[in-house]
Structures are given as structure tokens and as C-alpha cells.
């Protein structure tokens, strides 16, 4: 069996040693080297040609974000960020994902040895996912983080008004690994008069507020983290808070957000399964489902339930996915009405919505 070759980049000798030990305990991977700064790592990448890089953020001579940006432009490869900064600096994490990092793990601030040991299963799982990911060369356009900081943001894609819509309609999105950028691609192309949008992206606590705020700065719709009991309004997108379950309910003519501290479902909280199942029960034929890139099968069965209830579902195709797991499972469950490249989903959805709302036009 060919092993996954991992290069560890971290300025802490203790962390380098611990990560190497965790990696080398796995039968399907090996740590081929470690570097204490990006300049050394650059030479080791050329020499060792690793399959996956684990990368810290705060390092001497060049920080991890600068290095990641250069790496993904010149020599794209799977990267998993492992840094204490990712927990308290959600903006930095979002920037890393935007630049092309596959995923991230937050190192504990204290008790590093015990903390990394507890995270070992998560670390190796994300390394395995990264090794199988489809990596694309990073774009050189201004960043989301720069836009949030007040720099000139990328121009928003041209969008076409849907026209007068029915408030009964709802767009439901599920995503995991690679999903932050995929969701951005969808939302930035939707007009301000879109139906209400509910989103579950697998993400831990502390990151979804920042994620929503950054998307809100780029979109014509309003993007926010979902709050328990609030009404789901047209022209708004609601993101499941990290570490909570998110579903929709109904009160009279209104859809409501339900955010609660439920059990893990398919090993996830938030879980796409929870959201999509509630949409099947509450929204039915007025729903449009979208399954984006991600590992595993979370949401596939519930997306089929949505289809059986009358929803119209879009699934991202393999070529445009970072990880094809969740979309593949949705297709295998017969949940897809259309399987499309990522950049084609929003235009197809807008056309479908426009057709569906023609009867409301004056």
C-alpha cells in the first residue's frame, strides 16, 4: 500500500515531534520530514515531493498565510492548517481556506502534548481527506480578508433579479470540506430578491460568525449566522452556528430558524442531515436543495427525502469538487435532479426560480 507522505511545518520542535509521531503511527501514512520555517519547507517540498503539508501560521522569516498564498499559486498541493491562531483568529482561518487550504485543526493553547494526542484522530482524518482532495491553483484576485479589512473587494458577479417571488420558496445548502469557497461562489451570484436561504457547513464553534460576516460583505443578499426563533426572510441567508444543530420549522405562514444543542448526527454538529430532513418535512415542494463538496455521506438520505417531498435538487459535479464524497452519496441515493459544475449551479437555480415565479409578475 502506497503511504501518504506528509511534511510537517511548525516552528515548535515539540509540535513537530508530536505530529510526526501521530502520523507515523498510521499504517497508511508517514512523516517524510519537518521544517521549522517556510523557507526550509520550500526546499524540502522540492526535494521530498510530499503528498500533504501540515502548516502552522506564526513562524519565523515568513508567516504561514504568506507562504500558503505563494505555494498555492506556484506549486498547488493539499495543505492542512494546524495552528493555535485558527481558534482565536477566525479571519486568519477563513483566509487560509480561501487561499486553498483543504482544512484546519486548532492546536490547544496549553497542554500541547495532551491536546494534540486528543486531536490525533481528527488530524489524521483530515490528512487523509487532504491527500484525496482535488487541488486547484489559487486565484490572484483581492482576498475576502482584504475586503473585510476595507481594501478594494473583488467586483461582485453580475446578477439578474428574479422578479417578484413567493415567500414560500426556500433554498437549502449543505457542504463540508472545501465548502466555504463553494458557498461563496453560490451566494455572490444570487440577487437581493432571492428566497430565504438556509445553510449547513461543517464547522466548529467560533468560526461561523466570521464566515457569515465576510460573505455578507460580498453578497447582494444579507448573510448572517442563524439565531434560534428568528423568521427566515427572503433576501437573507442563514448559516448554521458551529457546534449547534440547525433546522427549520413553521409558524403559520412563516418559516422559523431552530438552533439547538442537539446530539451529533452522522458525527456532525451542525449536520446537513438535520437541516435537510426538516426542510423535507416543513418546506416540501417549495424547496430547492444544493449539495456541495464534502467528505462522507451527511445529508444524502435527507436530500432524497427532500426530493420525494417535491423539492428540486442540484448536486455539484466531481470535477469541480474539492472532495466528492457528499455529492457522490446524494447522487447514489437518487437525490439529484441536476448534477452541475459549481459555477453553473447559481445560474441554473436563478433560471428555475424565474420560471417558477413568472405567474407573480405584473
pLDDT given at position 258: 98
What CATH number belongs to 4-132? 3.40.50.2300
Q: Which of 10, 298, 311, 320 is catalytic?
A: 298
- Whether 176 is a known active-site residue: answer yes
Segments of the chain assigned to CATH 3.40.50.2300: 4-132
- Read off the pLDDT of residues 96-133 as tens digits, 9 standing for 90 and up: 999 999 999 987 766 666 777 788 999 999 999 999 99
Query: Is 28 one of the annotated active-site residues of the chain?
Result: no
Catalytic choice (202, 268, 278, 311)? 202
Question: Is 202 annotated as catalytic?
Answer: yes
Q: Which residue has the cell 432524497?
A: 304
pLDDT at 338 over 80: yes
Average pLDDT, the chain: 89
Strand arrangement of the beta sheet that strand 338-340 belongs to: 222-225, 236-239, 196-201, 170-175, 287-291, 312-316, 338-340
Q: Where in the chain is the domain with CATH 3.40.50.180?
A: 170-360
Among 41-55, 132-146, 147-161, 179-193, which stretch is predicted with the lowest mean pLDDT? 147-161
Higher pLDDT, 315 or 92: 315
The torsion angles phi and psi of 224, rounded to 5 degrees, stand at -150, 165
User: Given a cut of 50, is residue 144 above it in pLDDT?
Assistant: no
pLDDT tens digit sequence for 228-275: 999 999 999 999 999 999 999 999 989 999 999 999 999 999 999 999
Residue 155 backbone dihedrals phi, psi, to 5 degrees: -65, 140
Q: Give pTM, 2 decimals.
A: 0.89
For residue 101, give the C-alpha cell: 487550504
CB contact set of 42 (below 8 Å; sequence gap of 6+):
67
pLDDT tens, 170-203? 999 999 999 999 999 999 999 999 999 999 999 9
Q: Of 83, 106, 143, 176, which one is the catalytic site residue?
A: 176
Please give the pLDDT value at position 167.
Answer: 63
Helices (H), 13-89: 13-24, 38-48, 64-74, 85-88
CATH placement of domain 170-360: 3.40.50.180
Q: Which residue has the cell 500500500?
A: 1
Amino acid at each position: 500500500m502506497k503511504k501518504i507522505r506528509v511534511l510537517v511545518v511548525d516552528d515548535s520542535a515539540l509540535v513537530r515531534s508530536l505530529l510526526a509521531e501521530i502520523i507515523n503511527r498510521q499504517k497508511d501514512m508517514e512523516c517524510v520530514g519537518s521544517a521549522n520555517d517556510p523557507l526550509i519547507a520550500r526546499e524540502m517540498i522540492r526535494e521530498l515531493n510530499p503528498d500533504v503539508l501540515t502548516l502552522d501560521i506564526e513562524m519565523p522569516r515568513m508567516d504561514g498565510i504568506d507562504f500558503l498564498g505563494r505555494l498555492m499559486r506556484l506549486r498547488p498541493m493539499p495543505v492542512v492548517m494546524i495552528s493555535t491562531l485558527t481558534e482565536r483568529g477566525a479571519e486568519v482561518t477563513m483566509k487560509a481556506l480561501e487561499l486553498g487550504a483543504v482544512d484546519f485543526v486548532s492546536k490547544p493553547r496549553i497542554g500541547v502534548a495532551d491536546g494534540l494526542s486528543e486531536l490525533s484522530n481528527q488530524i489524521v482524518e483530515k490528512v487523509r481527506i487532504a491527500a484525496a482532495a482535488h487541488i486547484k491553483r489559487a486565484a490572484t484576485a483581492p482576498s475576502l480578508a482584504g475586503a473585510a479589512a476595507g481594501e478594494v473587494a473583488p467586483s461582485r458577479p453580475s446578477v439578474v433579479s428574479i422578479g417578484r417571488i413567493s415567500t414560500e420558496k426556500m433554498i437549502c445548502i449543505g457542504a463540508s470540506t472545501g465548502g466555504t469557497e463553494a458557498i461563496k461562489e453560490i451566494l455572490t451570484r444570487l440577487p437581493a430578491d432571492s428566497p430565504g436561504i438556509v445553510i449547513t457547513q461543517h464547522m466548529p464553534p467560533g468560526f461561523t460568525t466570521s464566515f457569515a460576516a465576510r460573505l455578507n460583505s460580498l453578497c447582494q443578499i444579507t448573510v448572517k449566522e442563524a439565531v434560534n426563533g428568528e423568521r427566515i426572510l427572503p433576501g437573507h441567508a442563514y448559516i448554521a452556528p458551529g457546534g449547534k444543530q440547525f433546522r427549520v420549522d413553521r409558524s403559520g405562514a412563516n418559516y422559523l430558524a431552530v438552533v439547538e444543542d442537539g446530539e451529533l448526527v452522522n458525527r456532525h454538529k451542525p449536520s446537513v442531515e438535520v437541516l435537510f430532513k426538516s426542510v423535507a418535512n416543513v418546506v416540501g415542494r417549495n424547496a430547492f436543495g444544493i449539495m456541495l463538496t464534502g467528505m462522507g455521506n451527511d445529508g444524502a438520505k435527507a436530500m432524497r427525502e427532500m426530493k420525494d417531498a417535491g423539492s428540486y435538487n442540484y448536486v455539484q459535479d466531481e470535477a469541480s469538487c474539492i472532495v466528492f464524497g457528499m455529492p457522490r452519496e446524494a447522487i447514489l441515493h437518487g437525490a439529484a435532479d441536476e448534477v452541475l459544475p459549481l459555477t453553473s449551479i447559481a445560474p441554473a437555480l436563478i433560471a428555475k426560480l424565474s420560471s417558477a415565479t413568472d405567474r407573480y409578475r405584473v
